[in-house]
Chain A
């Protein structure tokens, strides 16, 4: 019986653990598909709504209330409840559960991005005779893009971290490796638990790094400092 760290290194160095059905590569693919589906679905719902509310400059209180309430709902609950509804078992239910979790940060940043647009730029656009949809499309939306990117990053990192919990409903993903390790018990599974944890943490940090770079690219320099102060991650429940 060796210590968990060397067990974990042994586990990670076994090529079969990577390529076998249900191995690391399979789980990584599942993890990314689930996460991308959840973030995509959440964007489809949150962005149009947030941009519209932000354009009208009302609805901020409702968004804050919504964000606070969703903070209180355990993801474990949505993950277990949704498969029992019409969604049925399998990937769709997991994706919807995670999407619910990703909507508040996307909604809030879309709304903030629109309301932070300089009123003078808006009025100038209206004064130039642009129709409301042109004001949104040509003036407000481009100025809100850095905020949308910041929200996308927050939501994506949260979802990638939270998708680990899909293991509780056999939903696949990297969490499955940790879950299987716990199933084996601490003595035999300790190494696998640790190896799974390392893989998951590495993926989360990679996604965070890549999206941080992307966010920087789409943010004009004068806006960078302001945004960093405003956007922070939310708990990975």
Chain B
């Protein structure tokens, strides 16, 4: 954080008060590299968190789906994790993992987990009983049925979960700034601490919202490409 402030100061980026203090081309031009770095870090942190959460959450949802007695405990423990403030989670792990990107990613994964588990489970539960019966009648084993029938049919639910989790994670990555790895949060808080430099704060905030919307659209497009049958059915 200290380094970030020095960069702004050294670049002499803070202009004399102008008519609109919330936006400044001069700031964007003088700090392009720094903004790009923050954006890159933001995308990297968010992407890793979502990948981990998906790699953990989807199997857990499948487990909850297959072993019904586990459904309650899995949803409940994810729900409790969800109640605990992100800053508290930082506090629990920072003394052990230190000040670094790992400390930021763990809480992000924990929060994305519940959304992904809940939506994947909802998607799996919506697979019609007749379809499952038909698959079993055609001689599919448990694994083949899961991989070739149930998971593809649950894909819309899984993707809804991924989209919600991604948008929320993009917003939450900002608070990683407390351990110095907040991506665009670095700009938001940097501007606040740097004599309330409004142009920097707004740049961070706007890029954050824009990034969330872009990633949401990307996942939407991926979902459409991955579920051609859903579109065909809608068109018919």
Using a CB–CB distance below 8 Å, which chain A residues touch chain B? Answer: 4, 68-69, 71-77, 80-81, 84, 157, 160-162, 164-165, 167-169, 175, 178-179, 181-182, 186, 190-191, 193-194, 196-198, 200-201, 204-205, 208, 232-237
B25–chain A nearest beta-carbon distance, Å: 20
> Which of B84, B167, B168 sits near A204, CB closer than 8 Å?
B84
Q: Which residues of A contact B84 (CB under 8 A)?
A: 161, 200-201, 204-205, 236
B218–chain A nearest beta-carbon distance, Å: 14
Q: Are B168 and A235 in contact, with the CB atoms below 8 A?
A: yes
Whether B229 sits at the interface, judged by CB under 8 Å, is no
Whether B28 sits at the interface, judged by CB under 8 Å, is no
Identify which of B79, B84, B88, B205 gathers the most chain A CB atoms within 10 Å of its CB. B88
A183–chain B nearest beta-carbon distance, Å: 10
Number of A-B pairs whose CB atoms are under 8 Å? 158
Q: Are B171 and A73 in contact, with the CB atoms below 8 A?
A: yes
Q: Are A237 and B85 in contact, with the CB atoms below 8 A?
A: no
Q: Are B189 and A164 in contact, with the CB atoms below 8 A?
A: no
User: Main SS of the interface on chain A?
Assistant: helix
- What are 6 inter-chain pairs, A to B, with CB distance below 8 A? A72-B216, A74-B171, A164-B87, A179-B178, A204-B88, A233-B83
Closest to A160 in B: B85
B11–chain A nearest beta-carbon distance, Å: 21
B125–chain A nearest beta-carbon distance, Å: 11
Q: Which residues of A contact B99 (CB under 8 A)?
A: 186
Closest to B210 in A: A72
User: Main SS of the interface on chain B?
Assistant: helix
> Which of B79, B115, B189, B213 sits near A76, CB closer than 8 Å?
B189
Whether B201 sits at the interface, judged by CB under 8 Å, is yes
Of the 9-residue stretches B137-145, B151-159, B190-198, which lies at the interface with chain A? B190-198
Whether B164 sits at the interface, judged by CB under 8 Å, is yes
Contacts A76-B177, A165-B175, A178-B90: A81 and B96 contacting too (C-beta < 8 A)? no
Bound: A187/B213 CA distance, A = 40
Bound: A71/B83 CA distance, A = 16
A215–chain B nearest beta-carbon distance, Å: 14
Whether B181 sits at the interface, judged by CB under 8 Å, is no
Number of interface residues of B (CB under 8 A): 52
Contacts A161-B83, A164-B88, A234-B168: A77 and B118 contacting too (C-beta < 8 A)? no
Whether B82 sits at the interface, judged by CB under 8 Å, is yes
Closest to B205 in A: A77
Per-position 1/0 for B195-211, Cβ under 8 A of A = 01010011011001100
B51–chain A nearest beta-carbon distance, Å: 17
Q: Are B172 and A237 in contact, with the CB atoms below 8 A?
A: yes
The 7 closest A-B pairs by CB, nearest first: A197-B91, A77-B205, A72-B212, A4-B95, A161-B85, A235-B168, A190-B95
Bound: A234/B84 CA distance, A = 12
Contacts A197-B87, A205-B83: A71 and B164 contacting too (C-beta < 8 A)? yes
Q: A76-B175, A77-B205, A161-B86 known; 17 other A-B pairs, CB under 8 Å?
A: A71-B164, A73-B209, A74-B171, A74-B184, A75-B171, A80-B192, A81-B201, A157-B83, A161-B83, A178-B178, A196-B88, A197-B90, A197-B91, A204-B84, A232-B79, A235-B82, A236-B82
